[in-house]
Amino acid sequence: MQQSFDLFFVSSNSYKYQEVKKILNSFEIKLGFFKFDLEEIQSNSLKDIALKKAKDAFFKCKKPVIIEDDGLFINSLDGFPGPYSSYVFKTIGNKGILNLLKSNRQAKFVSIISYCDKKILLSFDAKLDGTISNSQKGKSWGYDPIFVPKNSRKTFAEMDNKNELSHRYKALKKFSNWYLHK
């Protein structure tokens, strides 16, 4: 039997979908998935990148969609890799980031969730402060093995409750609040 979905998440990253699906399920929103590599414009603004990705996703799927754009901003590197987080992960990766850092290890993860349908284009953002660990800890995807959220001693990769406090959770909570009352 075909399942019916309220809306679709469009991304090239299945790990992101798994987390977004779980979080939205907890708000009783059923989420489908279109696995696409969306075009990303070059910009210093995550929000501009996200809005463009959402328009592109809606154009491709012709259904209400959400997309997410994330960035890891490291204080001592003036916010690098920020909007270039995806490229930096694919090139120098976690090892490369660790090699760049000395004593100041403050950082933040930012998530922008953008929604697009025939009439509406909107974004919801959230940030989570934290630090970059001294070495990779735990097995998971992306920057999870090096990001330690504020008030925790564990990296995202070592935690079992990441989805209850992450940058993604915070942005999706704002989105759900709007979506369920629109």
Is 171:126 a contact under the CB 8 Å cutoff? yes
Least distance in Å: CB of 55 to ligand ITT?
A: 14
- What 128-132 contacts at long range (C-beta under 8 Å, 24+ apart), as own/partner pairs, is 128/165, 128/166, 128/167, 128/170, 130/106, 131/105, 131/106, 131/107, 132/74, 132/97, 132/98, 132/101, 132/105, 132/107
CA 182 – CA 174 distance, rounded (Å)? 12
Q: Which of 119, 122 has the CB closer to ligand ITT?
A: 122
| Angle subtended at Cα 170 by Cα 43 and Cα 60, rounded to the nearest 5 degrees | 50
Q: Judged by CB under 6 A, which stretch of 5-13, 92-100, 131-139, 170-178 contacts ligand ITT?
A: 5-13
* Residue 86 lies near ligand ITT (rule: CB under 6 A): yes
Catalytic residue among 6, 48, 56, 69: 69
Whether 6 sits among the annotated catalytic residues: the reply is no
Contacts of 168 (CB under 8 A, 6+ apart): 16, 19, 20, 23, 68, 70, 111, 126
Query: Per-residue string for binding with ligand ITT, 10-49, x by CB under 6 A?
Result: -xxx--x--------------------xx-----------
Rounded least distance, CB 118 to ligand ITT, Å: 22
- The residue at minimum Cβ distance from ligand ITT is 142
CB 72 to ligand ITT: min, Å: 6
Question: How many binding residues for ligand ITT (CB under 6 A)?
Answer: 20
Catalytic residues: 69
Q: Given the rule CB under 6 A, which residues bind ligand ITT?
A: 11-13, 16, 37-38, 68-70, 72, 85-86, 89, 141-144, 156, 166, 168
